[in-house]
Structure 1
């Protein structure tokens, strides 16, 4: 078996990218009162979403003309009109610096070509197979570490690890390299705040994936990288630079959002014991529970688009050259679409689908995998942790952040077998 390439750590080994990233995503306990206030001002509001919640400067976007778009219909309009509201100019200053030529930073026709190939790699029947072969072993291994104690912090001991370990397994990463891999993956996104460790991490991950891709093309296996390296659509394969950029982004787009989504799902159920009991007794409710968690506290509250031409939304003008804060959280808690939107209720009768995975041509390509991971994790928890409940002797979970939302801790007790 060919030895995998070795990852290089950051030169400053004392640098903690996790702490810096936490500062950039904020510690706001509840952004929704302010989001509701903004939405009531109209579908288009001048200014930066970020500046409503933090004084931490945005060195890449802070000086640019910005508006916020709020409410379900207005947000959906932005997401589904890519010829007006473009990705490339919106993400080149931040995600482009971090990941390179990734499909998130592309518009049609380039985006259409490459997305078609990625979609073949992430078809539901493909990712469902990963549930048994990849996800279940990771979930069970992590749970084995605390199941005998009758108590756990499900964030620190479970959700903060399992989506990332799934990715490690998918790329057949040596477990010894996992800590450096995670560190570099988080550090690379700090390019958006001007940290020098951002470009350093991007370069080191790029070199690692380039060599790994070379090996997999020579000796393909059943792992994710071999699959991506050989999948075709209309006779075309993914170019190396596009594939390497995607792999750079995978930890953040696939790992971090699934960690947050699963953490919120468990928080919603544990703080509503009657709903937890209902799901435990009727597993057919799991898809509704996942969708409600994603609607209630989506992992990402706002995303960017670039307005490429003078336009308007519901009579409100937006000038060409404006960067548009597309506030997904305002759409998912729009009272015109969701009754009592601030409540977590897995039994609600939705007339529209949530926008946590966005919509339009940039609809999240990994949504099927995210659902598989969240479903398998929740089933395992319900199966193996009987009488699961919040620990009454520890603080209740508190979801924080203005941009990326998650609780820091989720202390629980359960009956030992």
Structure 2
């Protein structure tokens, strides 16, 4: 049941949110040597990560900020909810996704609403979506460029398919897809805060109408499911539900696009490992986990100190913000041997790319399903996939969030 409700684009139709990626998240080719240098100096450093990486701080209040790069301290900050809070996110995503975002909440409120999302996004529930939803969308995109024998897999595939999957799950009008994607990306343009807030407001208006419509006429779409799922007598309040729908566009769309792009780039850069997967597709899960570890799409997570405390020998005043560099833990040589090397055969250990503790990513199982189906489709439909020798090699860039801008390939004979 496709909705007849229309969504409004930005007032300034010349504004292009896709141009804001570098301003917001940086264009650093390799931030890891700098991160390793910090980690070797101290596990906790005063000052915010963005400024240290030469970026403009955005939507942060005037308060102390610390950068956490020691693995022990990263784990401590992400899991000790008595000392560290997720309320720090109220200063950025809370302003665009809404104050009902579970990412800004602590327990018991967080746990009360998260259990409903967890019920819907359990592995056994999202697995069938791979064949029913992901595969047709991926096939439709690939059919457009397969006859050419060449493509830019970013522009023509990875930046499109995760968003198209969300639109299908929500049963949204196909004609509105481009507008939805513009607003979803614009929600995190914190340097242009007015545009980020406008994007969140317009999605909020739309989703409020959509939820009302789907409660009156429920279907088998995700909006209807979220609006009508009950756990222990609780239903999601509209404020929480609408904030989640706003965030879904970014969390499930943007990060999956980045993760898939990095995975394909890494495999093409390591043809022996790609050949191994071609010969044995049971290696796909470990390839996905290694890509997430090696260069996860989101390097930094945010927490706020609830009390005066010590962390890594540094005094942290209550109310301070902490930039928790998950990428530092993912490349800690004390945990991962030769951590800067992409190696799908390395010993499997948990990474930090989906966070840890109570706020571990609720959509991680769906992300894995989408990346798995995408890689299967690449193997099935793009034989002899290789970099296009006549085009520039991809460069994974970013200080906060990582992705290559282009992935020019050829395939076939």
Instruction: Return the TM-score normalized by structure 2.
Output: 0.97
Cα distance between partner residues in 2 of 1:279 and 1:62: 47
- C-alpha distance after superposition, 1:190-213 (max 9, x if no partner): 3x3353222222121111111111
Number of aligned residues:
412
SS of the residue aligned with 1:92? Answer: helix
Does the aligned pair in 1 maintain the 2:59–2:193 contact within 8 Å?
no
* Correspondence 1:400 to 2:397: yes
Where do 1:127-146 residues align within 5 Å?
A: 127-146=126-145
Where do 1:67-82 residues align within 5 Å?
A: 67-82=66-81
SS of the residue aligned with 1:148? Answer: helix
Q: Which shows bigger deviation, 235-244 or 198-207?
A: 198-207
1:220 is matched with 218
Match of 2:359 among 352, 359, 362: 362
Structure 2 gaps, min length 5: none
1:27 is matched with 27
Q: Which shows bigger deviation, 294-303 or 311-320?
A: 311-320
Structure 1 gaps, min length 5: none
2:248 is matched with 250
1:164 is matched with 163
Does the aligned pair in 1 maintain the 2:28–2:397 contact within 8 Å?
yes
2:18 is matched with 18
Report the aligned-residue RMSD: 1.3
1:104 is matched with 103
Q: Which shows bigger deviation, 279-288 or 307-316?
A: 307-316
Instruction: Return the TM-score normalized by structure 1.
Output: 0.96
Match of 1:385 among 382, 391, 403: 382
**Residues 22 and 62 of structure 1: CA distance in aligned 2, closer, same or farther (over 3 Å):** farther
What is the CA-CA distance between 1:322 and the residue it aligns to?
1.3
2:182 is matched with 183
Cα distance between partner residues in 2 of 1:119 and 1:38: 36
Match of 1:93 among 91, 94, 99: 91
Does the aligned pair in 2 maintain the 1:4–1:212 contact within 8 Å?
no
- C-alpha distance after superposition, 1:362-417 (max 9, x if no partner): 0000000000000000001001111111112211111000000000111111116x
Cα distance between partner residues in 2 of 1:406 and 1:188: 18
SS of the residue aligned with 1:202? Answer: helix
SS of the residue aligned with 1:27? Answer: coil
**Residues 256 and 138 of structure 1: CA distance in aligned 2, closer, same or farther (over 3 Å):** same
**Residues 195 and 315 of structure 1: CA distance in aligned 2, closer, same or farther (over 3 Å):** closer
Cα distance between partner residues in 2 of 1:311 and 1:324: 12
SS of the residue aligned with 1:294? Answer: helix
